[in-house]
Structure 1
Amino acid sequence: MQLAFFDTNVPRKAKRQAERYMRGFNNLEAVIESKKLELEPTMTTNYAPSESQRGNQFHSETERITYVRMTIQDYERQKKKLDLIRKSLHPTQLVIWDERYIMERSDTDIYLDNNIPKRTYYRLKGELIAIVADAFGLIQDNENLGTNLHQS
């Protein structure tokens, strides 16, 4: 397989974050659309300014809109990355992603129901997690952290 050189030893924190990205994949489109609705102008106006309403909030509508647009761009980038990863996966890895992270089935049920040898299942699942973690820079950040610690 082409990923023989790919390091599948993913630190626990990076693994959890990669799995979080995979679990949230189906919800990303809804999140993006709901954020876009926040950009639509509201018809309610309040002519009486009140200092008691100010807290740790943005001080202008322009700042709020800019922040929401940046958030939408981040979610769209995340969705594009995950779409590209899904298109490049081995069909069995796609089954693992869908059944484990979308349908939230147990590992045992997945490899037994799909006639995947246990060892192959965990190898492919590890590669899948490593691919997602690498695409989002989760492994690189941890490697650089360890390298910087050794240099000091």
Structure 2
Amino acid sequence: MAKGQTTVSDFAVAPRRGRTADPTVKQHDALLSSERVSEEVGADTQPNAPAPHAVEADQPPSRLIAPSEEARRERSVSKALQREDSRVRLRDLKRARDRESKHYVNCPLNYETKKRLERASFENDVKMTKIMQAAIDQYLKDNGY
């Protein structure tokens, strides 16, 4: 069985919408399109109903939808300050973690000492590193360090 040739024209593609740079134009277009839809729906359900009034072009857009330039600027400044504070707190946390980070000491042990350490770790259910830290700490305290 041979497959048929499939082309782009076989698929339904919606037309592209034009982009506008001004948000007030988008809002005005959205209002007009919603009115057209409501007129069409109204025409289907109520054929004798009067047509709704068109939105005046001189009417400014609602302030709830499009905040003023000052409000946008204030909001962007407050968000930028909040991001800066978060960044500073994260940096400080990383620095504090680095200060408290582990500092390793390599220490060769003979076979018997290593086996005794392993057995003590196993019997007491404590990690070998914790035993060594406690032993070193005790030694330093006993000798005045």
Higher helix proportion (structure 1 or 2) = 1
TM-score by length of 1: 0.26
**Higher RCO, 1 vs 2 (CA within 8 Å, ≥6 residues apart):** 1
TM-score by length of 2: 0.27
